[in-house]
Amino acid sequence: MTNHPLGDEIYAAYASGALSGPMRLLLDAQSAVNAEVARARQTVEAAAGVLLESEAPAEMAPNALSTLFDIIDTEEAGLGEAGPARFSARTGSESSRNAAQKAGQAIDELLDLPGSVRDLALARGGWSFAGPGVRTMPLMTEDGAKAELIRIEPGRGVPHHGHDGTEFTLVLTGGFSDGRASYGPGDVCMANPDTTHKPVADEGEVCIVLAVTDGPLAFTGALGWIQRALSR
């Protein structure tokens, strides 16, 4: 199934702030490359906002503001001055010039990704070998959920595999087929423990995907009402 919808449950969790960091990253990235998804997310956010305004405000701890500033100061102190690696080529060295050219192409590929993914990828600094024609780059983990980039050369593929949990794979550039369907930019392929497949990149263009693993979601209260109402 191409362009598998993430569903109103996911959008409602995003609007409430209950969605994990990796899944928020996936939805942000898909919204950046798929206008239909962006509109669906905005609709659910508007509905959640109406319900939120009707809720009684929760009391904050007396030191909440100072605690927030402490967290911000701690995160900023840990950022450092690290940035993407820089490359240079020695005059007259063909191998060095080729290496610099490839490095520049790799940076250009990352710069073309949606902003939220691009910034994390540039901070990571490089790809890791994951098989012939396949590279991976972990971006973030949170409470058992994980987000990583996978780069597949044209015509190459990820080995045939199954899944222990649920995985959402968003195509950012290029495309791939997995024996069930074909996926292009903005499409999401969902796989679960019943899924066994072999994604293979389309010929002619490098395929870069954002793969996110996350657990199931269930809601009660106001969010549960949104979920049930929108699924009718």
Q: What is the DSSP string of 37-76?
A: HHHHHHHHHHHHHHHHHHSPPPPPPTTHHHHHHHHHHHHH
> Do residues 143 and 170 touch, judged by C-beta distance below 8 A?
no
Domain range annotation of the chain:
1-54+98-232
Terminal Cα distance for the chain, rounded = 21
Q: Which pLDDT belongs to residue 80?
A: 42
Q: Which pLDDT belongs to residue 230?
A: 45
Q: Which pLDDT belongs to residue 197?
A: 84
The tens-digit pLDDT sequence of the chain (232 residues) is 445 567 677 777 777 777 888 988 998 999 888 878 777 766 666 655 555 555 566 677 777 777 777 777 765 555 443 344 444 444 455 554 554 455 566 788 999 899 989 999 999 878 999 889 999 999 999 888 899 999 999 999 887 778 777 889 999 999 999 888 999 999 999 888 888 888 999 999 999 999 998 754 443 444 444 444 444 4
- Report how far residue 125's alpha carbon sits from residue 170's, in angstroms, rounded to the nearest whole number: 21
Give Cα 72 distance to the centre of its chain: 24
Q: What CATH number matches the domain at 1-54+98-232, 3.60.15.10, 2.60.120.10, 2.40.50.140, 2.30.36.70?
A: 2.60.120.10
Q: Classify residue 160 as exposed, middle or buried by CB count within 10 Å of its CB (0-12, 13-18, 19+).
A: exposed
Q: Which pLDDT belongs to residue 5?
A: 61
